[in-house]
Structure 1
Amino acid sequence: MQGERRESGPPLPPGPGGSGPLLVSVALVAFLLAGMFTLAALVEWLRPGGILDPLNLLFVGLVVFPLTVLVGLRLDPEGFERLPGGLTLGPTRTSTGVFALLLGAAAVLPVAELDNLLQYLLPQDAEERLRILRLMAFDGWGGQLAKVFAIAVVTPVGEELVFRGIVLRWLRRSYGRLPALLVSSALFAAAHLSLRGLLPYLLLGLAFGWIVDRSRSVLPALGAHAAYNAVPFLFPPEVADVPGWTPRADAAVAHLPPLWVVGSGAACVVLLYLIWWSTLRRD
């Protein structure tokens, strides 16, 4: 077995105490959030319906994510020169991609139940419940397609390129594997601006980052992320009315059937092992 892998290429220019890549990563995430808020406010002013309108949501994602990726590549001394490696878009095995896709789908139920449990500590307020209900509501076939494309395609692609394709690569190149995974996942969780979502998003970020680390490509993690985001829209409330899964207008906390959670959790463990196994010969 070889020692710990590090990305090739020079590290980013160091800042005080060698903190340059970390500060630049935080700045890039701040740029992403600022762009989201600014464009969302502009869309709210120009077009009725707010950010949760399917077309508004799609427009914001299609503008802000590519712009953030371009800024990230510009900040890296070798970002553009090393494409597609500058975005960790290396080739990957088909088996790894399939296992990652299944992992993303399997993770939905355990993460949903974790969110249910966290609601005892940090309950949803009425505004959040209404926002979730509106997001999950059927908006007609055109609106639903725009919503699914925005959330299950544009958002996973944008977030994976930013947090795993750029930030994780920056941090790992300078600090090594474990610190890079932890910090990039923490930034990913914090960027969702949800106190109750910090732990679920941190765990998802660690899983996606680990997949990138094992496969040396952001593509399998992108598939896992897309599958995770897509599943709720494949089984909306009109199709699957399940306690603990279906958004509710009241404040009562419901739970998924325990067998579902245990079964999907076990599937996640098996799929993580299969991803590890499928990438063994890449070490």
Structure 2
Amino acid sequence: MKLLKNLGWFLLALLSFLFIYGFIQVLATTSLALGASPYAVTLLYVALAGVYVYGIYKWYQKGPVHTEKSIFNRFIWLPALVWFLSLVVQFFLPNDPSVNQQIAIDLTLSQPLFSFFAVVIFAPLTEELIFRGMLARYLFPKQYNSKQTLIFLLVSSILFALIHFPGDVQQFLVYASLGFSLGLAYISRKGLVYSISLHALNNLVSFLMILML
């Protein structure tokens, strides 16, 4: 019964991400498409998204997450290494952007100011809160061994990949590997700062590469 209740709470958090934060994004991008001032839209977006992030973070803080020391969180450098290797592998894969990637590319080229806040700042904040923080908070609050932690990492990686709408297996694996590295970052420091920072770094690299190419 408790598991079903916790699943319901996580689904509620996920729905808030899809519909409330999704509405904020649609409102901003639609306003930009209609010719509204990028500065005004970005300011409004930052304000609304900031309120959403604050609310979810306060919700996340209401319950503890316990993670025992294991092979997955023993080394602080492991998440960064997995992320870096994932990034290197992508350079050798066929360049076929997913729907999510193409949207990010188009948005970055047409609205770089707004895109910076949406992609580099708020995407890491919201996605880490939901797919690492709230997932662990409700479905994996007690990780007493490596098996439980591995299940959390796999579920987190799969959900993270699916929410980015991969078009094929290759795109799914790229997103899942990124999600796995971010999950490692979350459990290695038993908090969101490392995973948010690594996620922001990943998105910043992509953002700068789009602008420079």
TM-score of the superposed pair, with normalisation by structure 2: 0.68
Q: 2:197 corresponds to which letter in structure 1? A: G
Give 1:232's aligned residue.
206
**Residues 1-283 of structure 1: pairs in structure 2 closer than 5 A:** 14=2, 18-43=3-28, 47-49=31-33, 56=41, 59-60=44-45, 63-64=48-49, 66-67=51-52, 70-71=55-56, 73-74=58-59, 79-80=61-62, 96=76, 104=83, 107-111=86-90, 113-114=92-93, 116=94, 119=96, 131=103, 133-137=105-109, 144-173=112-141, 176-196=148-168, 197-236=171-210, 239-240=212-213
* Cα separation, partners in 2 of 1:134 and 1:222, compared to 1, 3 Å: same
**CA-CA distance at 1:166 after TM superposition:** 2.4
Larger helix proportion of the pair: 2
How much is the aligned-residue C-alpha RMSD, in angstroms?
Answer: 3.9
Deviations along 1:137-178, one digit per CA (max 9) or x if unpaired, are 2x5xxx534422331122212221222222223322257322
In 1, distance between residues paired with 2:53 and 2:19? Answer: 10
Q: Pick the structure with greater CA Rg.
A: 1
**CA-CA distance at 1:113 after TM superposition:** 4.4
Contact kept, 8 Å, 1:185 with 1:202, in 2: the verdict is yes
* Cα separation, partners in 2 of 1:178 and 1:21, compared to 1, 3 Å: farther
In 2, distance between residues paired with 1:72 and 1:149? Answer: 18
* Cα separation, partners in 2 of 1:174 and 1:19, compared to 1, 3 Å: farther
Contact kept, 8 Å, 1:69 with 1:162, in 2: the verdict is no
Deviations along 1:20-72, one digit per CA (max 9) or x if unpaired, are 32332233112211123333443455x2427xx96657754653464266257
TM-score of the superposed pair, with normalisation by structure 1: 0.54
In 2, distance between residues paired with 1:37 and 1:27? Answer: 14
* Cα separation, partners in 2 of 1:180 and 1:192, compared to 1, 3 Å: same
For structure 2, the 5+ residue unaligned runs are 68-74
Aligned length, in residue pairs = 196
Instruction: Provide the secondary structure at the position in 1 that maps to 2:33.
Output: coil
